[in-house]
Every structure is written in C-alpha cells, then in structure tokens.
Chains A and B, each alone.
Chain A
Amino acid sequence: MTDLVTYEDLIAANKRKSALLVVLFALFVAAVSMVLGLAIVAMLQPRALAAVDWRQGLLVGAVAAGVSLVIALIGFYRGPEMILHVSRARPIRHEDDPELFNVVEEMAIAAGIPMPKVYVIDDSAPNAFATGRDPQHGIVCITTGLRHKLNREELQGVIAHEIAHIRNYDIRLMMLLAVLVGTVAMLADFYWQVLRYGPRVHRRDGRRDGGGIHPLLFLLAILLALLAPLAAQLIQLAVSREREYLADASAVELTRNPLGLASALAKIDADPDVLEVANQGTAHLFIANPIKKFEARARTIFSSHPPIQERIRRLRMLAG
C-alpha cells in the first residue's frame, strides 16, 4: 500500500493529463481550422490567397479554439450520457438485481468512493465499463451477458476493476478521450468532404481538378485529413493499455483476491461474441477489447487493450 506510486499520484496524473488533453485538442482544432480556412480560400479564389492577412488567420484559429473549448466543456458534463446513449445502456434499480447492487456498493465502500450509478447493456457479449467525470458522478455498466456468466466472486473482481477506474480518475481521461476523439473524427470527415466536394459546388465551369490550388497546401490538407483520426486513435491506445494493468492491480487491492478477476477474464476471453454497440471511439472504455477481430489482426501496436492472457498471468502471479 505504501509503494512509491500511490493511487493519489495516479489521480493527480489523470487530472493533469485530462487538462492537457483539452488544451491539445483546442490547439489541434485551431491549427486544422486555419489550414482548412486557407485551403478553402485557395480553392475558391486562388488569387485572394496572397491578400490573406495573418491576423485574420489567427482570428479563425482563436474562434476555433474557443468553440473546441466549449465542445470540451459540454463533453465534460454530458459525455457520460452520450457514451451511455451510444452504448444503449439502461439504468437499473436495487430491486432489479440486489446481488449486483450489493457487490457494487461493497467495492465502493472498499475504495472509499460514493455509490456509483449502475447500468446494464442488453447484449450477450461479456463486457463492462465505467465512466463519469469524477467519483461523485461515477457510473458502472455491465452487459447482461457478462452479468449472467459470473459468480459473485468473479463479479466482485470485475466491479472492483471498474471501481478502480473510477477512484483513479481514469474515467475522466477516458471519457474526455472518447468525446474529443469522436469530435476530431467528425471534424476530419467534414474537412475531407469540403476538400473533395467544395470546389465542384462553387465553380461555374465545373472543373474539379486541383486548378489554382497551391499544391503544397493541398498536400498538407490531405495529410491532416488522413492523420487526424489516426493520431487520435494512437493517443487513445497509448492512454489505455498500461491503465488496464493498473486497474487490475487496484482491483486486487480492493478485493484482496486476484483469482476472482482472473477467472472472470478467462470467461470473457473464452467468449467469441462481439459487442455490437461498441465502436472505435468507446472501445478503450471497456474491461476487455469489445472489437475482437481488431485485436486479433493487430495484437500488439494497435490494440487498445493488453492481451487478456497476459493480464490473467499477472493476476495469478499475485495469488502466488
């Protein structure tokens, strides 16, 4: 319990990274908007490009940064709702599943956090996730498939893993990532549309080759449109892999029983079902990668989750 890195350090690091993420997001959107603005000008009026004032460019960037901060703010407060909505999760009450509620409450007590809200996803694929902006607004969500597969001990392990994410403020960083990465993907898509169809709509002669556009600018624009989602994806992966090992370890700290979680992970691993409501934007939230085909194809670099076998091995090592 008294190692060099305590969960308090994790919390501080997560809060710091969350703030940094929002700042980077704003800068990124500002930069993309400025390039996009220039590209549009270049496409519509190649000759006007020379007349563009850099102060106008900065203004565009500042407005874009402001808008993206507002998006981040909305995401901060409404993000969990959006995530629950796209995952088609529904809230349940104590009477619906007393055992699940009791396990969640026990783990919340062990972690010293308020009782989180409990949601379920009606899907046979076994998975679970936690979200929220802080432990006071924590949410635990489990698929009905996983719920029915586990005995109390295994359920305790899974819930402890999710509660650990909540206590460590992983939920804040991962929720912001889901929301902001989603926004970047949308933006890149929009940007791409403008690049492809913009000139065709506005030019009277119907030509749709590069025309007067500065080739370097065009190249930069394409590069950005291609790289933005990829970069977002890579950030997401970098953020979540070590986090799963840490949450596993924290879960053991709460339950004092590594075998419950290990056995639950083995059951999840053995199940071939794919969780349909998960997507690239929310995959990193889940306890096990919901997109298994993806994991099989690119096991190491592009997986948002460490291999389950390795997690089970580490847990069994803790049991001695």
Chain B
Amino acid sequence: MATWILIGLIVIVGLMVVSAIGIYNGLVNRRVRTENAWSQIDVQLKRRYDLIPNLVETVKGYAAHERQTLENVIQARNMAVSAKTVAEHAQAENLLTGALKSLFAVSEAYPDLKANVNFRALQEELTATENRIGFARQHYNDTAAQYNAALQRFPGNLVAGMFGFQPADYFQLDAGEAEAVRRAPQVKF
C-alpha cells in the first residue's frame, strides 16, 4: 500500500517537473523573442542614421545656403547615434524627426532638388524607414504583450514567479514624440 502511494507521488512530482520545464522553456522563448523584437527596432533606427549623411550631401549640392537646416539634421542624428539612455534616445529621435521634417519642407523651394532622382529615391527610402520603425515598434509591443500575458496566466505565473521573470515594458511615445508624430507631414505616394 505504502509503496503504491510512494510511486503515485513520484509520478505526480515527475509530471509536475516535466510540465514546469516545458513552461519555463516556453517563457524563455517568448522572452528571447521579445528581446529580438526590441533589437529589430534598433536595426531600423540605424538604417535611418545611415541614410541621413547621403541625404544631406544630396541636398547640399542644390541648397548649400540652407546651412542651418542641414546642420540641425546632422546634429540631431549625431545626438541620436550617441544617446545612452532611453530618455536621451527618445529626445534625440524626436529632434531628428523634426529636423528631417523641416529639411523636406525646405526642399519644396528647390525644384531642381525635388526633381533629382537621387533625392527622390532617398525620400522614398527615408519614409519607408519611418514606416519600418513604426512597424518594428508595433511588432515589439505585440510580442511583449504575448510574453506578459504568458507571465500572468496560470500556471505560467507560478514558474515566472519562481525564476524571477520580469514583464517587458511596452514602447510608448512620450508626450513630445507623440506630438511630433501627430504633426509629421502626411506622406504622399
């Protein structure tokens, strides 16, 4: 009798351990996916930084005396590249978005520039990159939402508590950036 109870207990504990391992691995997968989604945002941001020097060079050829506007773009870009904290980053990105916006506004006054094939290609690439940044952030938030939901659902919450899984933060636009997004020029295709 006692041996049967013992065997039963061992089987139950064994099953619990196996399912806990499964849940643990599932959570790790989701966490890695969330981290990966976050790094994808950086990939797209970097793409934007790489496009900017090209853009500035092209504009310089046609509108050299818009120095202030060009310098603003470069300054904002360099700030964004060297930003350390998330807050610095958000602020620099905000500045960069604004500076790019005024650069494209200024370019309206130069028909030659607007007709330049290189400039137009850069403009399409930059707007596409803006979209990508947006979609990368959206993907990050979706992934984070799934990870966070898995952390809170039973029985994942038990395993999460045991091994100290932390919920992921959602990417949110701060007030300044949200305003910049609202004021961003409507892109026409």
Contact = CB atoms under 8 A, between A and B. Distances in A.
Nearest to B145: A1
B124 A105 contact: no
Interface in A150-186: 151-152
Nearest to B138: A110
Contacts of B189: 99, 151-152
B126 to A, nearest CB: 11
Interface in A249-301: 253-254, 256
Nearest to B148: A2
Given A1-B146, A110-B139, A102 B128 contact: yes
B69 to A, nearest CB: 26
B40 interface: yes
Given A98-B124, A102-B124, A109 B132 contact: yes
Contacts of B138: 110, 256
B135 A109 contact: yes
A112 B143 contact: yes
A112 B131 contact: no
Contacts of A112: 33, 37, 40, 139, 143
A159 to B, nearest CB: 12
Contacts of A253: 142
Nearest to B37: A112
- B contact residues, range: 20 to 34
A107 B135 contact: yes
Contacts of A99: 124, 189
Q: Which of A2, A98, A99 has the largest number of chain B CB atoms within 10 A?
A: A2
Contacts, number: 47
B40 A109 contact: yes
Nearest to B30: A8
A98 B124 CA distance: 8
B9 interface: no
B27 interface: no
Nearest to A6: B146
A123 interface: no
B116 to A, nearest CB: 16
Interface string B126-170: 001001100110110011011001000000000000000000000
B139 A106 contact: no
Nearest to A156: B131
B142 A106 contact: no
A107 B128 CA distance: 11
Interface string A177-198: 0000000000000000000000
Interface in B62-100: none
Q: Which of B124, B136, B189 has the largest number of chain A CB atoms within 10 A?
A: B189
B149 A109 contact: no
B9 to A, nearest CB: 32
A106 B131 contact: yes
Q: Which of A1, A6, A256 has the largest number of chain B CB atoms within 10 A?
A: A1
A40 interface: no
A20 B161 CA distance: 38
Q: Which of A98, A105, A107, A109 has the largest number of chain B CB atoms within 10 A?
A: A109
A209 B83 CA distance: 88
Contact of A105 (B33, B132, B139): B132
A152 B124 CA distance: 12
Nearest to B133: A109
B115 interface: no
Interface string B107-131: 0000000000000010011001001
Nearest to B149: A2
Contacts of B121: 98
A89 interface: no
A152 B37 CA distance: 25
A112 to B, nearest CB: 5
10 contacts: A8-B146, A98-B121, A99-B124, A102-B128, A105-B132, A106-B131, A107-B135, A109-B135, A110-B138, A254-B135
Given A2-B145, A102-B128, A109-B135, 14 more contacts: A6-B146, A98-B121, A98-B124, A98-B125, A98-B128, A102-B124, A102-B125, A106-B131, A106-B132, A107-B135, A109-B40, A109-B44, A151-B189, A253-B142
Closest 8 CB pairs of A and B: A102-B128, A110-B135, A152-B189, A2-B149, A109-B135, A112-B139, A106-B131, A1-B145
